[in-house]
Structure 1
Amino acid sequence: MNITVKGAALPGGARTDIHIVDGRFAETADARATVIDAEGLIALPGLVDLHTHLREPGFEQSETVLTGSRAAAAGGFTAVFAMANTSPVQDTAGVVEQVQSLGERHGYVTVRPIGAVTVGLAGEKLAEIGAMAQSRARVRVFSDDGLCVHDPLLMRRALEYVSTFGGVVAQHAQEPRLTIGAQLNEGALSSELGLAGWPAVAEESIIARDVLLAEHVGARLHVCHVSTAGSVDVIRWAKARGISVTAEVTPHHLLLTEELARGYDSRFKVNPPLRRDEDVHALRAALADGTIDIVATDHAPHPVEAKECAWDEAANGMVGLESALSVVQAAVVDTGMLAWEDVARVMSSAPAAIGLLDGYDSPFDVGSPANLVLVDPAARRDFSTADLRGKSVNSPYLGRSLPGRVVATIHDGRPTVLDGELLAPEIVGGRHG
C-alpha cells in the first residue's frame, strides 16, 4: 500500500505531507496512494521498545509473539526487543531464531530477540553468546533480565565477549542478597505495611560495580529500568568519566510512586518496585538532561491468577505497551520537561541505536523505511481493558485518565493501526519486516 499522510505535524512543529511508496518514505506521492488525514496529529517515527516480555515460547498463557506484537502496534511501536526469560530460555541460536521467525510471520512489528547472558538464566555459565550473535537473528543485546548477573567475574566475561562484535549487556541491577523476599521499596511505607523492603542500594551498588567493569574492559553496558535517584547519580558520574553506559527508565517509574501500594493492589507490584516521589522527580530530570537515554516499557504480562491474589504471592510486573506513549506525555511532555522531538529520540532513535537496529537513524528521510505513528495529543481517555490488545490485563492504569491517543501506526510502509483500531492479521500480513 502506498500512502500519503496529509498535514501532519512533525515533532518540531512544522506541518507537512508525508509520502510512502513501496515501504519507504518518498519525495513525491503516488497518484493512487491511500490518503490519511492527519490534521491535528503529530507524526513521530515508529516507536522502539528495548525491553519487552513476549513470553513465547513457554508462557503463552500470559502473552505470545502475536498478541504482544498487536499490543505494541496499538501503542505506536514498530519494533520491540524480546527479553530472554522464556521457556526454553533464549540462550541458544535455535531459540532466538524461533522468536525472530514468529515476529516475521505476524508482521505487526519488527521483533528482535535478546539473548540470555547465562545458560538458563542461572548465573553460573555464559550462554552461547557467539552463536546467537552469528545466527540469522543477529542478536546484539544480551540480558538475564528478571535476574541480575550478580557474579562479577561472569559479568566481566560477558562484557568482554560482546565487545568483540559491538554488542551490549543489559543488566537487571539487583544485588540478590540485599533483596531476599523483597516486596516493596524499603522505607517507612514498607515498614508500615509490614512488607519486606527492596533497598535502593541493591540497585545502585550493582550499577556502580558494572560501570567500572565496563570501563575496565572497554565494553558497552546498558542499565535496565533505573528506579532511584542514587542510580541516576552513579550513571551521571560514569558518563562524565567517559564510560560507555546507557540507561532506561520505564513509564511507570516516571509517573507512579510507592504510595499506590497502600491498598495492597498487586497491579502496582513490580521489580524494581515503585519508589518515592523524590525518585520520580530525579528520573524525570535525568531523562530530560540525557543522563537516562531512553524510555523502555518492561511490558510484563501475567495471567489473572498470578496478579489477583495476596500481595506477597503476586507476580511482579505490569503490561505497558499500549499505555507507554500516553504515560510519557503525562509525565514529561505535558509537564514541560520534554518536547515531542525529545520523545522521538528517547522512544525511537536512541533505543534503536543502543540495540543496533537499522532504519531509525534518519526518520522521515527519503529512502528510509516507513515506520511512523500518528498521535492525537489533545485526546483524553479513561484507560480500560478495551485499550489492551495483549493477552493479559495487569495494567496499573486501568480507570486512570490518560492524555493522547495513537491514531495510526505504520510498520515498513504497511498500516497496522488505522483510526485507532488494529487491523486484522490478514490485512497486516507477515514476512515483510
Structure 2
Amino acid sequence: MSVLVHGARVLGGEPTDLLLRSGTIAEVGALAGTPAAEGATVLDARGLVALPGLVDLHTHLREPGREDAETVESGTRAAARGGYTAVFAMANTFPVADTAGVVEQVKRLGDEAGWAEVRPVGAVTVGLAGEQLAELGAMADSAAAVRVFSDDGHCVSDAVLMRRALEYVKAFDGVIAQHAQEPRLTEGAQMNEGTVSAVLGLRGWPSVAEEAVIARDVLLADHVGSRLHVCHVSTRGSVEIIRWAKQRGVQVTAEVTPHHLLLTDELVRGYDPVYKVNPPLRTQADVEALREGLADGTIDVVATDHAPHPVEAKDCEWSAAAMGMTGLETALSVVQHAVVDTGLLTWADVAQRMSAVPARIGRLAGHGTPLAAGEPANLVLLDPAARTVVDPEAMATSGRNSPFRGMELPGRVEATFLRGEPTVLDARLVERGPN
C-alpha cells in the first residue's frame, strides 16, 4: 500500500508531502501530481501537524490476569487512537512479568493485536515483593529483549537491592525505572499532604516521600555508573533534585504524566475517586514546576501511566477506590493544552519528549525517528485546531476512569500509521482529496 500524505506540517513547520511505501517514508517534498505518487492513496492533510509515532514508556495493559480492566488488544487500540505506535507495558500483571515466559507472552499478544508495538517492562523483583531480584538477565536475553525494568506500583525501597539492580542491568544496557515512594512515609496515605488534605480529613502523602527516594537513587546511580529512570515525577522538589543530578552528570532520566501537568489536588474536594492516583495530584506550584522542568529538559519525557480499572474499582467511596487514571487517548491533547498552546513547547519539542527520547531511553529501534526519506513510516497526523469534549464511553480503552471527562481539549488525532499501515484513519481525509 502506498499513501501520499498531502500538505502536512511536519513538526508544525511548512506544508509538505510524505510518500509512504513498503513500511517506510519513501520521499518527502512537493510530490502531489508527480510520477512518484502515481497510484498512491491520497490523504488531504492540509492544516494537520505530522509527528513521529508517539512512544509511551509507561502503560498498564493489565493482561495477563486483569482482562476485566484492560487487554493488550483494547489498550493498544486506545494507544493507536492517541497517536502512539509503541508502548512499554508495565510488569504489574497477574502473574507478574518477572520471568522470560511472561514477558514473551505480553510481546506475543501485542504482535497479534497489531495496533502498536508492545515492549514489555520486566519486574525488578520477584512478584514485585521487593525482596529478591527477578530474572533480569533472562528477560533481557528473551525474545522480548527487555531493557526497561520496574516494580511500578511499588517502590524498590531497599537500598541494597536497588544498588544490585542498577549494577546488574549495566551488562546489557538496561535501565531501572523507579516508582519513587518511601513506603513508611505514605502508609495509609490518600492524597497530597497539604491544605486540602487537612480540610478533607484525608491522610496526606508528603512530597518528601517521593523526593527522598529520588535523592537516594540518583546517588546510587552515580556511584555504580548505571542508568536510572524516574517514573511519574510529581513535585517541585523532585524536579530540583533531578536538575541537580543532571548537572553532576548522573545518568538519570525522568517522566511526567499528562495529568500531573494539568490537574491539582483542589479537584479532590468533591471526593470523586476518578482523581485518586499514585503519585497523587499535587498543588498548582508543583504543576508549574513540572511544566518548567519539561520545557528546560530536566524532565525528559511525557509518559501516560495509563491505568485502566473496572467500573466497580472507581465507583465507590474514596478510601476503597483504586488509584489510577486512563491517559493514552487524551495525552497529546493535554500536552497541547498545557505546554504547546501556552508557548512552553513547540511541536518539534513534543516530538522529542513523546517519541524520540522515550524510544531512546527504552532502546527501541524503529520508533522516534525523524520524518525523513528512508525512515520507518511510524507517524501521527493531528488536527491542532479541533476541539473535543472528552467522553470516556467513546474510548477504545476498557477503562472509563478518565479524569478529563467532560473537559473540552484541543487537538484530535486524525490518522496513525504503524510501519506504513493505518491503525487509525479518518475516512474524510481520503474522500476529500487535494484540490
TM-score bracket for this pair, using the shorter chain length:
over 0.9
Corresponding position: 1:53 with 2:54: no
- The residue matched to 1:278 in structure 2 has which SS? helix
Aligned residues of 1:406 and 1:420 also touching (Cα < 8 A): no
Q: CA deviation at 1:369?
A: 1.1
Matches of 1:361 and 1:402, distance apart in 2: 25
Q: CA deviation at 1:14?
A: 1.7
Q: Which has the higher mean CA deviation after the structures are superposed, 27-36 or 377-386? A: 27-36
Unpaired runs of 5+ residues, structure 2, are: 429-435
Matches of 2:427 and 2:235, distance apart in 1: 35
Matches of 2:150 and 2:367, distance apart in 1: 22
Other-structure match for 2:366:
359
Matches of 1:270 and 1:420, distance apart in 2: 36
Other-structure match for 1:41:
48
Matches of 1:348 and 1:269, distance apart in 2: 28
Q: CA deviation at 1:169?
A: 0.2
Corresponding position: 1:269 with 2:276: yes
Other-structure match for 2:314:
307
Other-structure match for 1:287:
294
Matches of 2:17 and 2:398, distance apart in 1: 36
Other-structure match for 1:251:
258
Aligned residues of 1:21 and 1:30 also touching (Cα < 8 A): no
**What one-letter code is carried by the residue in structure 1 that aligns with 2:260?**
H
Question: What TM-score comes out, normalization by structure 2 length?
Answer: 0.96
Aligned residues of 1:405 and 1:420 also touching (Cα < 8 A): no
Percent of aligned pairs with the same amino acid: 68
Other-structure match for 2:244:
237
Other-structure match for 2:10:
10
Q: CA deviation at 1:52?
A: 0.0
Q: Which has the higher mean CA deviation after the structures are superposed, 6-15 or 84-93? A: 6-15
Other-structure match for 1:150:
157
Unpaired runs of 5+ residues, structure 1, are: 422-433
Matches within 5 A, 1:13-28: 13-27=13-27
Matches of 2:340 and 2:179, distance apart in 1: 27
1:109 is matched with which residue: 109, 112, 116? Answer: 116
Q: Which has the higher mean CA deviation after the structures are superposed, 9-18 or 172-181? A: 9-18
Matches of 1:106 and 1:35, distance apart in 2: 26
Aligned residues of 2:54 and 2:368 also touching (Cα < 8 A): no
Other-structure match for 1:76:
83
Matches of 2:134 and 2:203, distance apart in 1: 32
Corresponding position: 1:85 with 2:64: no
2:125 is matched with which residue: 113, 118, 125? Answer: 118
Question: What TM-score comes out, normalization by structure 1 length?
Answer: 0.96
Matches of 2:104 and 2:258, distance apart in 1: 29
Corresponding position: 1:198 with 2:191: no
Matches of 1:132 and 1:331, distance apart in 2: 37
Matches of 1:218 and 1:243, distance apart in 2: 8
Other-structure match for 2:324:
317
Matches of 2:38 and 2:107, distance apart in 1: 35
2:407 is matched with which residue: 394, 400, 414? Answer: 400
Matches of 1:265 and 1:386, distance apart in 2: 18
**What one-letter code is carried by the residue in structure 1 that aligns with 2:89?**
A
Aligned residues of 2:234 and 2:279 also touching (Cα < 8 A): yes
- The residue matched to 2:18 in structure 1 has which SS? strand
- The residue matched to 1:139 in structure 2 has which SS? coil
2:176 is matched with which residue: 169, 178, 181? Answer: 169
Aligned residues: 421
CA gap of 1:102–1:347, structure 2 versus 1, over 3 A, is same
